[in-house]
Chains A and B, each alone.
Chain A
Amino acid sequence: MTATAAPPAARPTAPARLRRQPWDLYAALAATAVFALAALWPDLLATQGAFTMDLANTLQPPSAAHWFGTDEAGRDLYSRVIHGTAASLGIGIGAAAVSLTLAAVLGALAALGNRATSASVGWLLEVAFAFPALLLSLLLIAVLGPSILTLILAVGIGTAPGYARMVRGQILGAKDSPYVEAAIALGHSRGRILRQHILPNSLRPLVAVFALSIGQSIVWASSLSFLGLGIAPPAPEWGALLDAGRPYITVAGWLTVIPGVVIVLLALTTTTLGRHLQSFLEKGEK
């Protein structure tokens, strides 16, 4: 983790320019590289396998040999976190994709459909938004049974209504904009206006939202796993790691604290990237 915080070498000659550098962006990019590496080639970073047990060294606190300590079966927590990255990141990206696809479709229907469609989709969105998303996810898991796919769907569907409302607002705003009116006055067809102006302008903010949503989804999925509703231990998915460490929280706090910190770091990384992407896209308009 130390790699994430290390900023590029600083030149002391121009302190003002250095202060203006987006250090948080650089840190987030570095962290993204580390997370990507861990997800794609975990063996490059891990010191052991995810399930290598060492019963002589159970519940060891973090040390030079075991950076994040060991669990009740003597498994190296650092290696388990690395090996769990793919599952957690995959769930995050998958859930964000499900959520935003659904949101784009529902939001577009609510904003652009005929009177009956927009009214019924709008109503559905209001109800779904009012319904606690966690409860919605729990319901899905209860029906479909816990698995990675269920987790992705549950989190994706649970978070979709909020984004769908955002999409709807964006589209309605673009639809009433003076530039769409100008296109009508030019005699362009409805389809052309939709394609050229309304959809690009209203869906573009979703690029940034996607990055923001990955972090949020991972936190969600982890909480479901922590409740024992996602991926079951001993799988090294981060939420499951939290769940597995729970019985030892008083004697081996690092088993819950470290995976928790990693989840927060990843969420922070994607949110930082998302925010920079957002302001970059907005600046692109100028």
Chain B
Amino acid sequence: MTTIETEVARRDLASEIDGLPGFRPRLSVEGLSVGFATSEGHRPIVHDVSFDLHPGQCVAIVGESGSGKSVTARSIVGLAGRGARVEAEAITLHGRDVRTLSPRRWRDIRGREVGFILQDALVSLDPLRPVGAEIAEGLRLHGWGDRRARGKRVVELLASVGVPNPEHRARQRPDQLSGGLRQRALIASALALDPDVVIADEPTTALDVTVQAQVLELLEASKRRGASIILISHDLSVVAQLADHVLVMRNGRVVEQGAAAQLLGSPREEYTKALIAAVPSEDTRGAALSPGGRRLLADAPPAPEVLDEVVIEARDLVRRFRAPDGSATTAVGGVSFDLHRGETLGIVGESGSGKSTTGRIALALERADAGTVTLLGKPWSGVPESERRALRSRISVVSQDPLSSFDPRWNVERILLDALPRQAFPTAAARAERIRALLDQVGLAHAVLRRFPLRLSGGQRQRVAIARALAEAPDIIVLDEAVSALDVTIQAQILDLLVALQRRLGLSYLFISHDLGVIAHLCHRVLVMKDGVVVESGTPDEIFHRPQQPYTRQLIDSIPAFEPNRIQEKTA
């Protein structure tokens, strides 16, 4: 049976079941529209969203920032917020109309019937209260057992979400727990009363990939036990892992919806296709990720050979930091690498692995306690800044948050003017011409010159940051999580731009990222870092297919598979 036939059969079955009394969907949303009152009047955010959620099913809402996916989920459970106008033909939870429920009734339902997992565990948990007390509070509010029973239940819950040593952890405050443990505590509190509908809003977004794998496994387990999940995510690979039914949202509207395998495997709408094509992975190496990138790469010269010339040579770099309690932590403990001309060297690792510190030492923005960096054959680390200044134009940087790296008083023109070397562009006309050329190179309209970065979109800001990095015509650019904060289609455009620029200008990139997909797509060679040391290095092929070290293997296995073929097999 083909996938589509399977899906049709499943849908028939589902509609048959729907027709039987007692087999209605747990949650049914029809024609949901949400708008907010603003000073300029009513502003619609979500238009006409409909879907059903069945027992044991996961419905995913996918979309980029501003697509209305979170507002949709919140509106369903009466959390749309102040000034929101929620309209729907029907919102039915467990067969009862919940459109007109009072906030009081909602409080009763949330937690008991609907669990809500929020994105950021650090701000969602009370910082002054032990996590155990926080979870017990939910139980208490719904009148669950007595104090002792609740205490026991909390420990059980924490154990069930894989928190090691739960008796001890229950007594700790959120700031004493790691990001992964916090997220699990949050999940435990959402699942405390065993709600059969769970809404997870970007549940893994801030997490490292290995922790993400654990959290997804938890959600998968609760689905197997019969819970229905609404998953909000921008990450298609996470969605592919968990979802049975997918809604793709854009500008508040559902662009396309259907069974996960069918939608991700053979999308009908252009937008969905673009969204799926934009996901970087090893398979996309050398290919464009964005529609505009195809032309960009076609116009660019073919990829030049990576030369033998070493532009950065780092040897045995060590950097220790003193913690507030006086103890020393080693952020970087003996890292060595060579970056060749025309090469992209990826440094991948989870938070705290020392990858960013390594990048900062390479930029000489951080001093190394031991070891040396040589830039273009000249000493770079350990010399006074005044000596380095002449070489500074050879290496530049693009960071994750471009906005804070621009002087807030300056518009784009001033930012770029400031970055131009004065002696190379002595006249105002030469500078203006160079700035135009830079804007053309990064694909920005000249009109942005007068604008302030705060008024630009994330992608435009990152393009300005890249234009600034190119201003001095450097040999090397250090990109520290440069695409991590961007939506996937914007990320695709920036990655395509980086590839085109490298081909055209022969740049070398030191590309630091936590995202294995991006690293696999872009890099010629990869360093895998953990706890300040390089665990393994090699070509993407070696790292992703024949990892030698257990940690690398664990990392690779944690990547949620985003291969539509494999999903199809799963369903078939």
User: Across the interface, do A184 and B404 meet the contact criterion of CB distance under 8 Å?
Assistant: no
User: Across the interface, do A186 and B399 meet the contact criterion of CB distance under 8 Å?
Assistant: no
User: Across the interface, do B407 and A286 meet the contact criterion of CB distance under 8 Å?
Assistant: no
Contacts of B396 in A (CB 8 A): 185-186
Contacts of A200 in B (CB 8 A): 409
Contacts of A178 in B (CB 8 A): 399, 401, 404-405
Closest 3 CB pairs of A and B: A187-B392, A178-B404, A178-B405
Q: Bin the interface of chain B by size.
A: 20 to 34
Q: Known A-B contacts: A178-B404, A187-B472, A201-B408. Give 7 more (CB < 8 A).
A: A178-B401, A179-B407, A182-B397, A183-B418, A185-B395, A186-B472, A285-B408
Does A181 interact with chain B (Cβ within 8 Å)?
yes
User: Across the interface, do B365 and A185 meet the contact criterion of CB distance under 8 Å?
Assistant: yes
- Inter-chain CA distance A186–B363, complex, in Å, is 10
Interface positions of B from 364 to 409, Cβ below 8 Å from A: 365, 385, 388-393, 395-397, 399, 401, 404-409
User: Across the interface, do A184 and B365 meet the contact criterion of CB distance under 8 Å?
Assistant: yes
15 A-B residue pairs with Cβ-Cβ distance under 8 Å, sorted by A, are A177-B404, A179-B404, A179-B406, A182-B405, A184-B385, A185-B396, A186-B393, A186-B468, A187-B393, A188-B418, A189-B389, A190-B385, A204-B409, A286-B452, A286-B455
- Nearest-neighbor residue (CB-CB) of B392 within chain A: A187
Does A197 interact with chain B (Cβ within 8 Å)?
yes
- Nearest-neighbor residue (CB-CB) of A20 within chain B: B39
Does B419 interact with chain A (Cβ within 8 Å)?
yes
User: Across the interface, do A187 and B399 meet the contact criterion of CB distance under 8 Å?
Assistant: no
Does A196 interact with chain B (Cβ within 8 Å)?
yes
Contacts of A286 in B (CB 8 A): 452, 454-455
Task: Tally inter-chain residue pairs, CB-CB below 8 A.
Answer: 61
- Nearest-neighbor residue (CB-CB) of A181 within chain B: B365
Q: What is the CB-to-nearest-CB distance from A261 to chain B, in angstroms, rounded to a whole number? A: 36
Report if A181-B392 is in contact (Cβ < 8 Å); known contacts: A285-B452, A285-B454, A286-B455.
no
- Nearest-neighbor residue (CB-CB) of A198 within chain B: B407
Contacts of B363 in A (CB 8 A): 185
Q: What is the CB-to-nearest-CB distance from B320 to chain A, in angstroms, rounded to a whole number? A: 20
Q: What is the CB-to-nearest-CB distance from B198 to chain A, in angstroms, rounded to a whole number? A: 38
- Nearest-neighbor residue (CB-CB) of A174 within chain B: B407
Contacts of B471 in A (CB 8 A): 186
User: Across the interface, do A186 and B401 meet the contact criterion of CB distance under 8 Å?
Assistant: no
Contacts of A184 in B (CB 8 A): 365, 385
Contacts of A185 in B (CB 8 A): 363, 365, 392, 395-397
Interface positions of A from 176 to 222, Cβ below 8 Å from B: 177-179, 181-190, 196-197, 200-201, 204
- Inter-chain CA distance A178–B453, complex, in Å, is 14
Q: What is the CB-to-nearest-CB distance from A286 to chain B, in angstroms, rounded to a whole number? A: 5
- Inter-chain CA distance A184–B386, complex, in Å, is 11
Contacts of B401 in A (CB 8 A): 178
Query: Which of these, A186, A189, A197, contacts B419 with CB under 8 Å?
Result: A186
Contacts of B418 in A (CB 8 A): 183, 186, 188, 196
Report if A181-B452 is in contact (Cβ < 8 Å); known contacts: A186-B419, A189-B389, A196-B418.
no
- Inter-chain CA distance A231–B379, complex, in Å, is 67
Q: What is the CB-to-nearest-CB distance from B441 to chain A, in angstroms, rounded to a whole number? A: 18
- Inter-chain CA distance A33–B216, complex, in Å, is 66
- Inter-chain CA distance A190–B392, complex, in Å, is 14
- Inter-chain CA distance A20–B39, complex, in Å, is 10
Q: What is the CB-to-nearest-CB distance from A203 to chain B, in angstroms, rounded to a whole number? A: 12
- Inter-chain CA distance A190–B405, complex, in Å, is 17
Contacts of A179 in B (CB 8 A): 404-408
Bitwise, A166-179 to B at CB < 8 A (1) or not (0) is 00000000000111
Report if A187-B452 is in contact (Cβ < 8 Å); known contacts: A179-B407, A197-B407.
no
Report if A285-B409 is in contact (Cβ < 8 Å); known contacts: A178-B404, A186-B392, A187-B389.
yes
- Inter-chain CA distance A160–B250, complex, in Å, is 55
Q: What is the CB-to-nearest-CB distance from A204 to chain B, in angstroms, rounded to a whole number? A: 8
Contacts of A197 in B (CB 8 A): 407
Which of A185, A197, A200 has the most chain B CB within a 10 Å cutoff? A185
- Inter-chain CA distance A201–B404, complex, in Å, is 13
Query: Which of these, A20, A186, A188, A201, contacts B409 with CB under 8 Å?
Result: A201
Q: What is the CB-to-nearest-CB distance from B343 to chain A, in angstroms, rounded to a whole number? A: 21
Interface positions of B from 348 to 367, Cβ below 8 Å from A: 363, 365
Contacts of B468 in A (CB 8 A): 182, 186
Contacts of B391 in A (CB 8 A): 187
Bitwise, A153-170 to B at CB < 8 A (1) or not (0) is 000000000000000000
Which of A20, A182, A196 has the most chain B CB within a 10 Å cutoff? A182
Q: What is the CB-to-nearest-CB distance from A38 to chain B, in angstroms, rounded to a whole number? A: 36
Q: What is the CB-to-nearest-CB distance from B356 to chain A, in angstroms, rounded to a whole number? A: 13
- Inter-chain CA distance A213–B228, complex, in Å, is 60
- Inter-chain CA distance A286–B468, complex, in Å, is 20
- Inter-chain CA distance A185–B380, complex, in Å, is 13
Which of B391, B392, B409, B454 has the most chain A CB within a 10 Å cutoff? B409
Which of B395, B407, B454 has the most chain A CB within a 10 Å cutoff? B407
- Inter-chain CA distance A187–B388, complex, in Å, is 8
Q: What is the CB-to-nearest-CB distance from B6 to chain A, in angstroms, rounded to a whole number? A: 51
Interface positions of B from 76 to 125, Cβ below 8 Å from A: none
Which of A183, A187, A189 has the most chain B CB within a 10 Å cutoff? A187
Q: What is the CB-to-nearest-CB distance from B474 to chain A, in angstroms, rounded to a whole number? A: 10
Contacts of B472 in A (CB 8 A): 186-187
